[in-house]
Each structure stands twice: as C-alpha cells, then as structure tokens.
Structure 1
Amino acid sequence: MTSLRDVPAEVLADLTAAGLDPDHVWDVVGRALSEDLPTEPRVDPTSESTIPAGARAEAVFGAREDGVVAGLAVAAVVFHAVGADATITDRVADGTRVARGDVVMRVEGLAQRMLVAERTALNLACHLSGVATATSRWVEALEGSPTRVLDTRKTLPGLRALQKYAVRCGGGVNHRTSLQDMAMVKDNHVIAAGGVLPALDAIRGRHPGLPVEVEVTTLDQLDELLALPQPPERVLLDNMTDELMTEAVRRTAGRVPLEASGGITLERAARIGATGVDFVSVGALTHSVTVFDIGMDLTTPAPTAD
C-alpha cells in the first residue's frame, strides 16, 4: 500500500464532509486489501503475468440495477492505496439515486493495479450502496408520516461508521454509534437491576446528563415512565402491535420521543408510520442487507504482456 498522503485532497475532503474519518477509511481499506494480498510481494499473479507493468487502461463503474449509491469515495481510496496512479472522474455523489446502466464512476490508471483494487473497491461500494438503497425504501414507505427510520448497532464488525454513513445516504437517521452515546435500558438490564426504575435511577446517578432510552413491552410500563418527574429521553416500544403503538402515542402526547422496534418489516412500514411514532429502528438495514450490483468494466484494454 501507499500512504494516506497519496490520496487526492478532494477525495479526503469528501470523506471528511461526509462525517467519515479518513484514517479509519484507510484502515478499513488496508485490512480489506490484505485479504487479497496477504504476503510479500504484494502482487496479483494473474494480472502481473498477463498485463505489462506500465500499461494503462480506463474502467467504468456502472450500476446494474436501480437504487441509491454510497461509498464511491471509499472505493476511490482503494485505487490510490494500491498505487494505481489513478485519475477518477464522473464519480456521482453518494446518496444519488441511479438507474440501471448509469455510469457512477470512471477510473483511469495502471491496469495491473486497477485489477488488484477491483474486488475490494466493489465489495465496499456494493455493500454500502445496498445499505443506502434498503434505507431509501424505508424512507419511501414512511413518506407522509412523522416516522423516521433508524439504524441499530447490529453492524458488521469494523464497518459500523461506514454502514451508518450509508444509512444517512439513504435518507435514514443514525441511532447511537456506541454504547457511550446513550444509555439503553433493555430487558436484561431490568432483570439485573431489579426493575425499570432502579435501572434508570442507577444510570442517572452514575452518568448524569447522559441521555437514556428505556424499553417497554406494555402500556403499563409506559405509564410508569410517563409518571416520572423526569421521564427518559426516549422510550422504545418493543414488539407492540400497531394498535398498542397508536395508544402509546396518544398517552405520551409528544412528551417523549417513541421508537418502535421488534417484528419490523418493510411491508408493515406504512402502518407503523400511521401510528405516529417518532422512529422505527431496523437492524436489517445493516446486518443482512442485499448488496447493490455495481460492475467495473475496462473500456480501453491494456496491451497484453509478452
């Protein structure tokens, strides 16, 4: 690999503007490339044998289905990381809705190194575009309602920042990024603490000022929280029916934001939005998303090696 200093300033600026840490992106790219090039010399025997070292080529990244793209700036970093001496043009902005057949990015550079970068660049761009596209479907299904779609911490290890970025590209909202952003009292915490209120009091005693979300499964539990002088900053309605959520919204009357979770499917999205809850959290946005199909095709073939 080269170094982060070899990545063009405009690519680094795009990452920063997107809320991504360039050093973290570089680390993710490096670990991904090490899976393809685990030992020295870090070359691809196939490309090295079939393409002259100095041969150049151009390739297009094309969408093979309709959807929302994300991670193209991350994919661009891969070509610079492998030393492809790449010039990248026509890169559409992350969050753009594209149609099948659209060109989303062009790359010109050293053909050998471009093919080394190909799979890692596609893996990242296709996965993140899949997250963005899935999120956009939820946004569309909830259109006209007050409900926003949230991601969760059910992310692939090491890819949380990138996946949550892709959710934003799709029009969704990020839930907490780490355990330290917000305390979240769930069933196991309630059991360990001896009840919902003891758990809430313990957190506020040790971490004053930290936002707290509390999970409830019944309207009685919700009423108990609403009766407090200082209710939690958010209440999670876990595995409630549409009817129960509608009643929860009525009882809460806007005092506390409500989040729906559990048993959530896209087919149910419009009904959840009609209940009036503020958020619906969907782990499937990140933990089991289908990749978005992007292909990389050479348009100017490199000379064949002797």
Structure 2
Amino acid sequence: MVGPGVSLADPARWLRYNRGMPRTDSYSGLFGADGTRVQRKKAIPEVPAEPGLVVEDPASGFCGAVVTIDVREVTLEDRHGKRRIFPLRPAGFLFEGQLATLVKPAPRVQAGARSASGSVRVAGLKARTARASRIWVEGIHDASLLETVWGHDLRVEGIVVEPLHGVHDLAAAVRDFGPAPHRKLGILVDHLVAGTMETRQAASVAGPHVMVTGHPFVDVWEAVKPAAVGIRAWPQIPRGTDWKTGVCEALRWGEPADGARRVLGAVKSFRDLDSSLIGAVEQLIDFVTVDAAVDTDPR
C-alpha cells in the first residue's frame, strides 16, 4: 500500500493519488517525448566590437584587432598590418579562446556638460592664449594621452604640453627653461618609484616653481587599463628588454608603432586610465595654472 486505499495493484488509482502528492524532484524539461535527454545549448556571449578588441575567425584562423564594424561586417587587422573583412554571424568568432558573437558597440553616451577628463565642458570654447607655464612629458605617447583626456582642460587654461623624449638630462633642460613665479613648470615622469633614476632626476629639479609627478609604471602604455585594450593584464617583460617591443611580441601586436595605434586609440576618457596617472596629471594642471602669466617669451 502507498496510501489510504491505494495499491500498486490498481495503477489507475495509484496514478490519481500520486498526482496530488508534493514532489521533491522534478525532471520536467530534461527528457524529450522519446525518452532521450534534452541537450541544452550553452549561451554564447555577445561582445561589443570596440576598436582594438582582438578576436579570431575560427574558420580561417585569422587573428586580428577590430578596426571598423557596421551592422553587417567587421574589419580585422593582424599583427602584420593585413586586413580582412568578415560577416557578423552568431558565434562567429573566438574571444579569449571562447566562441562569441560580435555586436556593434552601443553609441557612447554623450556626457553633454562633461569632457573626457570628467571636468565641466565649456560650450563654444575658444582656446585662450598660451600661458608662459608648461607641462613636460617624457614622449609623444604621453603627450597624446594627455591631449585625448585633458585636451579640453588644457585649452581652457592655455597650457601647452611638450614632450621631452627622456629625462636623462632633466636638470639642464629645467635650467634652460628658467622657471619663475610667472613661468612654472610641471613635469610628468614614468616609473617614479623609490630608488630609480627617474626619482633621482625629479629630486634634483623640484622646487617652488617646478613640480614633478608621475606614475609607477615603466611606460605610460601600462597606465592604460588592460580591459581598455582588450587584454586581461599587461605582460611581464624581462629586465633589459625594451618594454614596448617586449609587449608587442608577447601580445602579437607587431611593431611598437602598431601597438601605439592600439593603445592610444583605445583611450576615450579618464575611465580608461589608472588612478595614479590621473592624479599626477591633475596635480600638474592645478600647479601650473595658479597665478600663471600669458606667454610673451619669443623662445
């Protein structure tokens, strides 16, 4: 007996009784009408095809970074600069080794009153006359990043950014500049950590009219968040190897010039940068704009 007045010898009565009983396990949907197990397909993620995102076409093995995309197709560029166009199909690409569906990125929401640095945007801005004060950075990549993120702010304040191409003789360059109360100098340095040559150079020139700030990374590329360029983390490069060259080899980006296009093209706002770089640049802008005069020096 399985219940009051219900016997397995009477299948019909047993079935009616069983329907009313609570069930602890449910196999609903696990088996088809023919008794075979239903195979559930794993959901394929949709990945916004932001410029610089690295994916692979599994059919041809072509691996490259996204250059352009529309509603029908995407253009990829490999590490040798070769470009190919592929149709946008569901589960049509490999992203980080897994099948993915590339989709056109959603239009970036315009901040309206905000610039790329997060500051209040000045409507109808006309760049003011350049001040005598300057901001120096180590190279053209640093200058490009500052222009992308802080360009609006710099034009509002009339501050010019100049690349140094290295800080090996920083003291002489500062002497030639001639810092003064009306002619301040802000210097952004890579790899500004204790015990480095950069830190010693910075200490030798810092003063009331000269501010040196920086970030802890070997190169300014590394101050760009890995997710912004479509990687999980920046690779570790052995000491003695040129950092940019080592990174491009490890990530199969080709030459450093190819890597620069990927990295600099991926930065859209301050959100793509490490906080150490953001803080360093903001300090310099504040420093050189306090009581700074308009530049009348013909140099």
Q: Which TM-score applies when normalising by structure 2?
A: 0.25
Larger radius of gyration: 2
More helix by share: 1
Q: Which TM-score applies when normalising by structure 1?
A: 0.24
* Bigger RCO (CA 8 Å, 6+ sep): 1
